[in-house]
Amino acid sequence: MSTLEIREIMDRIPHRYPFLLVDRVIDLVPGRRVVAIKNVTMNEPFFQGHFPGAPVMPGVLVIEALAQAGAVLLLSDIPDRASKLVYFTGIDAARFRRPVVPGDQIRLTMDVLKLRSRTCKMRGTAEVGGELVAEAEIMSALVER
């Protein structure tokens, strides 16, 4: 089991404010699984317009957070990761179970289903307080930067 703090996450993926959606990795099994955390606060820039007076994290950003967690997993084993990017190439079976709101802490879990040299398919779940809020199968490709 490996854990990663924010600086180590930023060493692995290129995302930065306001689009870095993974705050901490609490479990990393190379080539198999990652469990990460996203703390959702009222300071998120998207809450300004989604929705005024009733803030809800856009579902597409919950899926993006899952994809970023998956990218951390894929790039953790690659020695020349600074020269690589992980592109999100597809999504299947996405479901949204309940809204994510300020104050929630999302637990992002990505499990590898298929891993090839340049492509990967993972199953992701997002939970708040042990309750499923979103799930999807996400496909990615490893490309040169």
Q: Which of 15, 50, 84, 107 is catalytic?
A: 50
50 is catalytic: yes
Residue 124: half-sphere exposure toward Cβ, Cα within 13 Å? 35
CA distance 66 to 56: 17
Q: Do residues 28 and 76 touch, judged by C-beta distance below 8 A?
A: yes
CA distance 132 to 109: 11
Q: Which residues contact 53 (CB under 8 A, 6 or more apart)?
A: none
CA distance 86 to 58: 22
CA distance 100 to 10: 24
Indicate the length of the chain as a whole number. Answer: 145
The residues assigned a catalytic role are 50
